[in-house]
Amino acid sequence: MQVNPKINLTFAAGLRSILRQDPDVIMIGEIRDRETAEIAIHASLTGHLVFSTLHTNDAASAATRLIDMGIEPFLVASSVVAVLAQRLLRQVCSDCKQPYHPDDEELIRLGIVPPRMRPTFYRGAGCPACSQTGYRGRTGIFELLVLDDEIRRLIGNKADSGLIRQAATAKGMVTLKDEGADKVFHGITTTEELMRITQQEVEI
């Protein structure tokens, strides 16, 4: 459905119209304001499967962003099932990639204690195939936060995203940075690209 505020067909009005059709699954392009968030939460609580996107730093920040929009914490905790954060990283150009051994500082930036044996990383030297950038193509990194009782309790108590992330990683959640570091180790991307991307806001 294409919104058109000139005829009062706003995002929220369109959502209400869709809900009256009693769909099983609803896809909302993006939650941008409190009104849209409230409708999405209400739809979820009344048995609809709702998918949407939200701009935030990582998966753990989604709950705090909804709360900052004005949604009650207990409603967020009871309606959200899971959050998937994603980013695209530039890939090292396969035509000009060159091996090198990272120094201690680079490994520490990746959250790794420098080992005795240096791993081999790759970076692009620049060539006509990649327009001298050293990168060609993109690859995705993902972070899946599944809400369990502990995470719901933290959200209900208005815990900050750091505490939510800590609890999730303790249960095995792989962060964007961790998955990106794995791609650095496999020569798919670079530390510089990973640091650039993971410090930006993501769409979930």
Q: Which domains does the chain have, with CATH numbers?
A: 54-203 (3.40.50.300)
> Which pLDDT tens digit goes with each residue over 114-144?
777 789 999 999 999 999 999 999 999 999 9
Cβ–Cβ < 8 Å for 76, 56: no
The pTM for the full model equals: 0.81
Beta strands 25-28 and 49-52: pairing type? parallel
Residue 105, pLDDT above cutoff 80: yes
**Residue-averaged pLDDT of the chain:** 90
More confident of the two residues 149 and 23: 149
> Which pLDDT tens digit goes with each residue over 36-90?
899 899 889 988 899 999 998 899 999 999 999 999 999 999 999 999 999 999 9
- pLDDT of amino acid 9: 73
pLDDT band at 204 (very low <50, low <70, confident <90, very high): low
